[in-house]
Structure 1
Amino acid sequence: MSERHTALRSMHDLGLAAWFGGSLMGAFGVNGAAAKISDTSQRLPVASAGWARWTPVNAAAIGAHLAGAVGELVTESPRMATQAGVGRASAVKTALTVGALAVTGYSRLLGMRLEKAGGPSVQGTTEPNAQTPSHVAKSQRQLKMLQWTIPALTGALIVVTAYMGEQQRPGQVFRGILGRAQGLAGSPMKMSRLAAMGSAKRH
């Protein structure tokens, strides 16, 4: 079987890049530009329209990333079993992915609530003013925190992915396999030592 998985890696990396870049650009660009509109009642509808247009693209990017990630998980499963550290890194990556998905989904839910709010007067997309209805202001404050959580989590995913790429270097693979072998060999020895110590105490 070929050791190349270019399609899977491309889906994984391009999807993650769009997920990270889109969330960061939206927080800075879409929300920032909407806050510059002079009519305070148009700021939220304009930002909501921008995010609504991005949502299908973002969903496709996330889907591509997940498909690539699952494919890589399957193809890299032998290394997870034989190379120390790969399984731990994979678990961290999975946790970050689940967290990013949850935050992205809830952020979109908040965005849909703001879309349905119409055109209330606001300071910005995620900043209410004195005239903003309380239920709208609540969703805005939640969204303000989450809009930075998404790029933080997806950025961390990029870092973990880079780290896992380094683990595939021949020297890292050799040391990881050696470390796993030593750990497996050391376990029976430790148990025999403990058994010997227990026997000595009984006598």
Structure 2
Amino acid sequence: MGLVSTTVRSAHLVSNAAWFGGSLMGAVGLNPASREGDDLRERAEISGAGWEKWGPVQGAAVGVHLLSGLAILADNRRRTLAHPPTTVAVLLKTGLTMAAVAASAAAYRSGQQLGEAAGEDGRSQDPQRAQELSQRMSWLQWATPAATGGLLVLDAYLGEQQRGLAGLLDRRR
């Protein structure tokens, strides 16, 4: 394996780890912490401030992940076409990647809309819309870490396909 291939694969894995970790931290830490605010506006500001700081990092991680994934696919095109288990895994990875991008974009947009729904006085001008957006965010915040976690599992599976017969955990005969 060459240096370029190792660098591209590393960028692919590290960018997915950042995407996964950042979205999981948001779901587990930042979003629940924002509920400490006194009203809807303050809660939206707390959560929004954290996501605004993380957003550029997450965006870069998604971009690097997508570009490095295309490079890996181009490098492994023969294996992907000739080996059915690899073909299936790559198709699953493609679908999960699209789902993760869609979930990230939907969460971003819903978060913005929720911030806009918070009135100046901390009370929503449209409480029903704010409640609807809050409910959407309660499940949507978990969609990105679920999808990107699935990508990590598929990367491990694809790595195992390239491994030799004897591995670290295999019994010696």
- TM-score when normalising by structure 2: 0.86
Give, in whole Å, the separation in 2 of the partners of 1:4 and 1:11.
Answer: 11
Structure number with larger C-alpha Rg = 1
Deviation at 1:118, TM superposition (A): 3.5
Give unmatched runs, 5+ long, in structure 1: 123-130, 173-203
1:154 counterpart = 2:148? yes
CA contact (8 A) 1:110 1:139 kept: yes
Q: Following superposition, which runs of at least 4 residues in structure 1 exceed 6 angstroms of deviation? A: none
What are the Cα deviations for residues 15-34 of structure 1, in whole angstroms up to 9, with x where unaligned?
A: 10011000010111111111
1:106 counterpart = 2:106? yes
Give % identity: 39
CA contact (8 A) 1:45 1:118 kept: no
What does residue 74 of structure 1 align with? 74
Once the two structures are overlaid, the 10-residue window that deviates more, 94-103 or 39-48, is: 39-48
Give, in whole Å, the separation in 1 of the partners of 2:21 and 2:86.
Answer: 27
CA contact (8 A) 1:16 1:61 kept: yes
CA contact (8 A) 1:44 1:115 kept: yes
Give, in whole Å, the separation in 1 of the partners of 2:13 and 2:61.
Answer: 10
What does residue 170 of structure 1 align with? 164
Give unmatched runs, 5+ long, in structure 2: 167-173
What does residue 63 of structure 1 align with? 63
RMSD: 2.2
Deviation at 1:4, TM superposition (A): 5.7
What are the Cα deviations for residues 65-113 of structure 1, in whole angstroms up to 9, with x where unaligned?
A: 1111111000011112333311111101101001111111111110111
CA contact (8 A) 2:117 2:126 kept: no
- TM-score when normalising by structure 1: 0.74
User: How many residues are matched?
Assistant: 163
